[in-house]
Amino acid sequence: MEENAPRQARPAPGASIPVKLSAETLAMPPIRISLGIGHVYKDKADGSQWTLSGLRSGRTIILSAVAPGTGHRDRVSVDTLADNYEHVGCDHENFCCIEHRTHVMPHRGCMLR
């Protein structure tokens, strides 16, 4: 087959080798809340809004306050997030939207803003 043949005519690449998960990973309970960089959560106790700005190892995350200058909450566990916070949406304006598979930064190309 010629290299300049139309894309449809080329054979599809072979299936990749599946990754085997460890027993420890399989034993972990499922995550009970939607996670993604840029997701916005409301604290059930005081109503303040927080943006998930980082994922850490050990099922912990970093939350940044939506209101500027009001702080960060580092190493919040995923279970604490599910129990004490409510997912209210995504910040498509300033973050990558993992849920919709659209890269926003640095060129801010999210079609959902």
Domain assignment of residue 41, yes or no:
yes
pLDDT tens string 55-98: 888 899 999 998 877 889 999 999 999 999 999 988 877 775 55
Mean pLDDT in the chain? 79
Q: For the beta carbon of residue 12, count every other beta carbon within 10 angstroms.
A: 5
Residue 27 lies in a domain: no
pLDDT in tens, 4-44: 655 565 566 666 677 788 888 788 888 999 898 889 999 99
Q: Domain range for residue 97?
A: 32-113
In a domain, 18, yes or no: no
How many domains is the chain partitioned into structurally? 1
The answer to the question of residue 23 being in a domain is no
Q: What is the enclosing helix (H) or strand (E) of 19?
A: none
Which pLDDT does position 76 carry in this prediction?
Answer: 95
Position 11 in a domain: no
